[in-house]
Amino acid sequence: MEWAGRATTAYHHAASPISLTLKDAPEATTSLPDFVKSVTPPCNLTPTLPGGHLQTMYTVVTKEDVPIDFKRHIFESDDMHYPGSYTVDFVAHIPDELKGGKDEGLPPRTKMFTDAEWAPIEAGSEDKTPMLIALHGLSGGSYEQYLKETIAPLAYGKGGPQFEVCVVNSRGCARSPVTTPRLFNARSTWDIRQTVKWLRKKYPNRPLFAVGFSLGANILVNYLGEEGEACELKGAVACSNPWDLAQGSISLQRSWLGKEVYSKTMATNLKKLFKRHLDVLKQNPKIDIEEVLNAKYLHEFDRYVDGSLPFTMIDKLTRTGLYSVPSGTTRRRVLIIVMHLQLTHF
């Protein structure tokens, strides 16, 4: 509930939550819910933007920015079922006089690593600095405002960086290339899996964490479920995870605002992404190019781009591919932030 910008924060947890040992008092413990409540500030929103819809729309039109610089590296996929390349943007710690700018064809404040810059990253180290891996939302990228607002205090904290941070861009997003005729979906866990394995090999002593937003949260939780006990992450945060994309798609179509604003906007953004990589994607004979380009709503785009998936969709509403609920069983601590369910409704 929200009144004059003051919103209520609801907490949901297991009946028997885990206990945490306090860092400053090893002999004392607290429950995870109590710890989260103690460190979560009051939710005081802008009174001039009542409701989740206006707040969501404001993020599209605002010119505010968080000055974070990234260095990009292109990885070649080692997955035989999903070959090609993908990009990872690492938060760069560079002198103030060299900040800003970009390489041609990349998002603002993003440049490619030079060979000399990449060499020490590739070499790895024995340091114990925590590492955060971030996954953005649908058709987004490392440049997204919500993502940068989250990682800035960690990457540029007082007294120096508290975390090293990187962002795994979904294929084709954030001006990254598409080298095989497929886009991404909620089960596209291949690239985060390879990134986590690479980081663990290069930085064996770093605690690894991950945060995902929206579709990125869905991909992240799917990854956790698939990895199970083998997961290398110490913890993860899933923000605004749509969870059941099938039901989410149905909900979008039930109201004018959901269908004509949200669904249409997301379809438009995905079509822009599709057009940008059309020369490669049209090589997939299973994609109906004309229908994709004529798609008006998100569910139509999903329907006509199904051919880009490496498996057959038996039922459009099964929990696979573009329509997904997390698979397997997560074996790591996961903080679920679902504030959007109370602020935004369709």
* pLDDT, tens only, 248-262: 888 889 999 889 999
Say which CATH number the domain at 189 has: 3.40.50.1820
Angle 245-252/298-305 helices, nearest 10 degrees? 130
Q: From residue 277, how far is each of 82, 168, 183, 280 by CA, in Å?
A: 17, 19, 9, 6
List own/partner pairs for 254-257 with CB under 8 A and 24 or more apart: 254/346, 255/346, 257/53, 257/346
Are 183 and 314 part of one and the same domain? Answer: no
DSSP 8-state symbol, 228: G
- Among 92-106, 136-150, 155-169, 325-339, the range scoring the smallest mean pLDDT is 325-339
Are 45 and 93 part of one and the same domain? Answer: no
The strand pairing partners of 70, in sequence order, are 91, 110
User: At residue 52, does pLDDT exceed 80?
Assistant: no
Segment 310-320 shows an average pLDDT of 38
How many CB atoms sit inside 10 A of residue 120's CB? 9
More confident residue, 45 or 293: 293
In whole numbers, what is the pLDDT of the chain averaged over residues?
Answer: 84
User: At residue 339, does pLDDT exceed 70?
Assistant: no
pLDDT band per the 50, 70, 90 thresholds, residue 158: confident
Percent of the chain at pLDDT exceeding 90: 51
Are 269 and 152 part of one and the same domain? Answer: no
Are 218 and 316 part of one and the same domain? Answer: no
- Which phi and psi angles does 168 have, rounded to 5°? -90, 115
Angle 190-202/115-123 helices, nearest 10 degrees? 80
Segment 334-340 shows an average pLDDT of 60
| pLDDT score of 247 | 84
Identify how many contiguous H helices and E strands the chain contains and give both numbers: 13, 13
Q: How many angstroms separate the most distant Cα atoms in the chain?
A: 65
Asked if the structure places residue 62 within a domain, the reply is no
Q: From residue 125, how far is each of 114, 120, 193, 203 by CA, in Å?
A: 19, 8, 20, 6
Are 87 and 150 part of one and the same domain? Answer: yes
What is the rounded distance in angstroms from the CA atom of residue 270 to the CA atom of residue 140?
10
What is the rounded distance in angstroms from the CA atom of residue 248 to the CA atom of residue 29?
38
| pLDDT score of 248 | 84
Are 158 and 207 part of one and the same domain? Answer: yes
Are 149 and 192 part of one and the same domain? Answer: yes
- Among 176-180, 268-272, 315-319, the range scoring the smallest mean pLDDT is 315-319
| pLDDT score of 40 | 87
Q: From residue 145, how far is each of 35, 55, 63, 297 by CA, in Å?
A: 27, 13, 10, 24
Are 320 and 275 part of one and the same domain? Answer: yes
Asked if the structure places residue 58 within a domain, the reply is no
> How many domains are contained in the chain?
3
| pLDDT score of 346 | 40
Asked if the structure places residue 82 within a domain, the reply is yes
Are 232 and 341 part of one and the same domain? Answer: yes
Q: From residue 115, how far is each of 92, 112, 122, 342 by CA, in Å?
A: 15, 9, 10, 47
User: At residue 343, does pLDDT exceed 50?
Assistant: no
Are 300 and 182 part of one and the same domain? Answer: no
Are 117 and 266 part of one and the same domain? Answer: no
User: At residue 319, does pLDDT exceed 80?
Assistant: no
Which among 147, 127, 128 has a CA at the least distance from the CA of 137? 147
Asked if the structure places residue 61 within a domain, the reply is no
3-class DSSP state for residue 164? strand
Asked if the structure places residue 56 within a domain, the reply is no
- pTM: predicted TM-score of the whole model, two decimal places: 0.84
Asked if the structure places residue 194 within a domain, the reply is yes
Range of the domain at 308: 244-325
pLDDT tens for 7-42 read: 778 888 888 888 888 888 878 899 988 988 888 888
Are 342 and 255 part of one and the same domain? Answer: no
Helix or strand run (H / E) with residue 260? none
User: At residue 275, does pLDDT exceed 50?
Assistant: yes
| pLDDT score of 318 | 38
pLDDT band per the 50, 70, 90 thresholds, residue 241: confident
Asked if the structure places residue 142 within a domain, the reply is yes
Segment 169-174 shows an average pLDDT of 96
